[in-house]
Amino acid sequence: MDYQDIELLRFTTAGSVDDGKSTLIGRLLYDSKSIFQDQLDAVEESSKSKGFDYVDLSLLTDGLKSEREQGITIDVAYRYFATPRRKFIIADTPGHIQYTRNMVTGASTANLAIILIDARKGMLEQTHRHAFIASLLRIPHAIVCVNKMDLVDYSEEVYDTIVSDFKAFSSKLGIKDIQFIPISALNGDNVVNRSEKMDWYQGSTLMYHLETVHISSDHNLVDCRFPIQSVIRPHTLENQDYRGFAGRVDGGVFKPGDKVKSLPSGFVSTIKTIELNGEQITEAFAPMSVTMTLEDEIDNSRGDMIVRENNVPEVSQDLEVLVTWMSASPIQARTKVVVKHTTNETVGMVKELKYKIDINTLHRIEAIDKVEMNDIARLSIRTAKPLFFDAYKKNRQTGSVIIIDEQTNETIGAGMII
Amino acid sequence: MSNYVINHLKELESEAIFVIREIAAQFENPVLLFSGGKDSILLTHLAKKAFYPAKIPFPLIHIDTGHNFPETIAFRDELVEKLGVKLIVGSVQEAIDKGRAKEETGADASRNSLQIVSLLDTLEAYKVDAAMGGARRDEEKARAKERFFSHRDEFGQWDPKNQRPELWNLFNGRKNYGEHFRVFPISNWTEMDVWEYIKLENIDLPSLYFSHQRDCVVRDGVILANSEFIKLKEGEEVVNMTIRYRTCGDMPITGAVESEADDLVKIIEEIATTRTTERGGRADDKRAETAMEDRKKQGYF
Ligand SMILES: Nc1nc2c(ncn2[C@@H]2O[C@H](COP(=O)(O)OP(=O)(O)O)[C@@H](O)[C@H]2O)c(=O)[nH]1
Ligand SMILES: [Mg+2]
């Protein structure tokens, strides 16, 4: 195995309480031999002390004291495992409505979402919400796992009904790639190993999907966007005039020799070098961190953006955003906030609350006077200085903002630009 | 691998460099907490790459418990010299002498939790507003929920139930007076990633990580280096063993593994087949199931 040449896949798990998320993750870790003996010993011991007659794999992920006491997942926990094909980062998030914000957090960086459904219960309102969040956050791939098949006698009919119910709903959402798999997380059917009890299922296992789903086109490779994080000026004799722009590519492909434009100044120049640690790079694309130098002396600073001359983002002080509200204090129109976008930060004013979305029915609720924790709503925001942005559906990095409370400095909203 | 895809080590590197650059840009007095272990050596290497050809624009802080391996100190001094970066040493011995911290007693005494006092004192003395560390989420279950930018109140405490959500790659480092942040740029790396990257980049490490002969004491199944810092209990004896370290903390509490692995290739092979976590050898984590969470709440690394 050439461990150095595998890709990274980030996925999130969505499901209601007790649908089996933690058990599924425990199963993936266990069957891919990513669990160490001392971790397993600890889990066996706590299972025993709780009087369970099987090893509760969910204890592997439920990390914090209060969670283990309550037996539920209350925050985002990250887990890691690797197979010879890929390295995986799992964001394990709770599924309850009051944790919508955590689900959104986990989903914001994911390439793929696993949506769990309890075979005995079928599609629930919560399942609608999980699918909606996956589509809202534009997770490119989704896998619907119908779990606890062992409790419905591995019935094909039960599975088929759930699949068609889900499809009827998800056709409205526009998730590009959805797969369905019948599993038992507890017993391991179709997780890593094929189930012998469901010969009617011809598809592949969950692990096979995770290892092979095509993720190289998940980043925007068309629209060149390079937000500047900082300017590198060594102030040494041999590098008197060196002025490097440090940042991470958010879209497109940059090459030395490309004609580029700086925002907001509008100055045009040519890329002289793209480098990291003195090594020259011939092509830079998302999500690479690099240092760029230009042929002309341009006074760029943090928050500026380097783009192509004839492909510029929107430059505006008015944002239309769909936000997930993250704070216990609601927001009303005419509230002053701080907006963080790429490497830019500015104050802004929430001008108008347009509507809320009932995330179970997808219906709009118009004429609202406040937005509360876990709500998903459309707002208009006016910022003190112009931002350079794209629609979220075009670019997840240059199309997203976080909203910060000016007084407490807490992150109170997550916004996707329309 | 197709065009326009970077492999996972490059992606992790890129993420860590992005975070390190954010720290330098968002804070006034950031520092890098340098323990002398491989993770903080890796972090220092990434910081060098992030700002090249400029020097690392923040100092390293080392909390010296007085119980360090001599190899760690020698390595630290050489590295600092090579990079031309400022080093700040916070001394636990000094904190004890000043009566700020009280030494534990008994055969299992350790200075591990005393580090918290020195660390917080040092951060305060230098008005540090962001301390970056090499902690990884795969190390321990309380760390699995840690953010990249982890907010600490004015007492340096962590409140796991009230963490700021972290979305996309937008890191919120805003804070009120007296508060600070701990930042963990290599949060998403596993032990295997760290070793593979060290091999890929040819990063120098202290000799402790490679197989060597050493006088040891085996206590509760943990192999400890025999040193002036440990008192032998009844029935314990000193044995010469072939060992190496997977993590480097204080001499009296860091467990070694018996190993013949004397180069990176062999170490990676060994890790691929090993059945215990690297912290499995640390006596400090064995004290209670939630030992790490409890220490973190108080302000531990
Ligand atoms: N019979 C059966 N029980 C399961 C399965 N998956 C999970 N469970 C059980 O369902 C309960 C809740 O699982 P857990 O993983 O904690 O759910 P979470 O709340 O989604 O994380 C536990 O008692 C599990 O043992 C399954 O495939 N079959
Ligand atoms: Mg759970």
**Which residues 252-291 on chain B approach chain A with CB closer than 8 angstroms?**
268, 274-277, 280, 289-290
Q: Minimal Cα–Cα distance from A3 to chain B, Å? A: 8
Arithmetic mean of pLDDT, B18-46: 96
Contacts of A248 in chain B (CB under 8 A): 14, 17-18, 169
Return the pLDDT at B228.
80
Return the pLDDT at B300.
55
In a domain, B1, yes or no: no
Residue tagged 């011991």 (tokens) = A45
Distance between CA atoms of residues A91 and B120, nearest Å: 31
Distance between CA atoms of residues B250 and B77, nearest Å: 17
Residue A28 tokens read as: 């993936």
In a domain, B110, yes or no: yes
Q: Which of A215-224, A372-381, A395-404, B288-297 has the lowest mean pLDDT?
A: B288-297
Q: Which of A185-194, A291-300, A359-368, A372-381 has the lowest mean pLDDT?
A: A359-368
Arithmetic mean of pLDDT, B168-196: 93
Q: Mutation test of ligand 1: which of A18, A72, A145, A184 has the most ligand atoms closer than 8 Å to its C-beta?
A: A18
All domains of chain A in start order, with CATH: 3-212 (3.40.50.300), 225-308 (2.40.30.10), 314-417 (2.40.30.10)
Are the CB atoms for B206 and B249 separated by under 8 Å?
A: no
**Domain harbouring B73, CATH code:** 3.40.50.620
Rounded to the nearest angstrom, the gap between the alpha carbon of residue A37 and the centroid of all alpha carbons in its chain is 31
Q: Between B87 and B219, whose confidence is greater?
A: B87
Same domain for B115 and B219: no
A331, A332, A335, B89 from A349: Cα distances, Å: 11, 10, 6, 45
Distance between CA atoms of residues A379 and A353, nearest Å: 5
Arithmetic mean of pLDDT, B69-75: 91
Same domain for B72 and B24: yes
Residue A270 tokens read as: 């040519």
Same domain for B119 and B25: yes
A360, B41, B153, B186 from B14: Cα distances, Å: 38, 17, 29, 10
Give the count of domains, chain B: 2
Q: Minimal Cα–Cα distance from B93 to chain A, Å? A: 33
Residue B202 has pLDDT above 90, yes or no: yes
Q: Length of chain A, please?
A: 418
Mean pLDDT, rounded, of chain A: 90
Residue A1 has pLDDT above 80, yes or no: no
With 0-12 / 13-18 / 19 or more C-beta atoms within 10 angstroms meaning exposed / middle / buried, residue B204 is exposed
* A23 CB near ligand 1 (under 6 Å): yes
Residue B212 has pLDDT above 80, yes or no: yes
**Which residues 109-138 on chain B approach chain A with CB closer than 8 angstroms?**
137-138
pLDDT tens digits, A16-51:
878 888 889 888 988 887 776 767 777 777 777 777
Same domain for B212 and B168: no
In a domain, B201, yes or no: no
DSSP string, chain B: --TT---HHHHHHHHHHHHHHHHHHH-SSEEEE--SSHHHHHHHHHHHHHHTTSPPSS-EEEEE-S---HHHHHHHHHHHHHHT--EEEEEHHHHHHTTSS----STT--STTTHHHHHHHHHHHTT-SEEE----GGG-TTGGG--SEEEE-TT----GGGPPP-BTTB------TT-EEEE-TTTT--HHHHHHHHHHHT----GGGS-EEEEEEEETTEEEE--TT-PPPTT---EEEEEEESS---TTTBPEEE----SHHHHHHHHHH--S-GGGGBTTGGG-TTHHHHHHHHT--
In a domain, B120, yes or no: yes
Nearby residues of B216 by Cβ (< 8 Å), 6 or more positions away: B223, B224, B225, B226, B238, B239, B240, B241, B243, B256
Residue B8 has pLDDT above 80, yes or no: yes
Residue A98 has pLDDT above 90, yes or no: no
As for the ipTM of the complex, it is 0.92
Residue A244 has pLDDT above 90, yes or no: yes
Same domain for B255 and B240: yes
Between CA B222 and CA A108, with CA A36 as vertex, the angle to 5 degrees is 125
Return the pLDDT at A301.
95
pLDDT tens digits, A68-86:
555 545 577 888 888 889 9
In a domain, B2, yes or no: no
Q: How confident is the model at residue B288 (pLDDT cuts 50, 70, 90)?
A: very low
Q: Which of A17-21, A260-264, B198-202 has the lowest mean pLDDT?
A: A17-21
Residue A191 has pLDDT above 90, yes or no: yes
User: What pTM was computed for the model?
Assistant: 0.90
pLDDT tens digits, A151-188:
999 999 999 999 999 999 888 888 889 999 999 999 99
In a domain, B75, yes or no: yes
| C-alpha neighbours within 13 Å on the C-beta side of residue B1 | 16
Same domain for B151 and B18: yes
Arithmetic mean of pLDDT, B91-120: 72
Same domain for B93 and B63: yes
Contacts of A86 in chain B (CB under 8 A): 8
Same domain for B294 and B277: no
Residue B21 has pLDDT above 50, yes or no: yes
Give me the amino acid identity at A90.
I
Same domain for B245 and B162: no
CB of A13 within 8 Å of any CB in chain B? no
Same domain for B109 and B218: no
Return the pLDDT at A369.
94
Return the pLDDT at B1.
41
Same domain for B215 and B93: no
Distance between CA atoms of residues A8 and B6, nearest Å: 9
Arithmetic mean of pLDDT, B273-300: 54
Same domain for B280 and B164: no
Structural domain span for residue B174: 8-193+290-298
Return the pLDDT at B114.
72
Distance between CA atoms of residues B217 and A266, nearest Å: 68
Arithmetic mean of pLDDT, B7-32: 97
Helix pair B191-201, B8-26: axis angle to 10 deg: 90
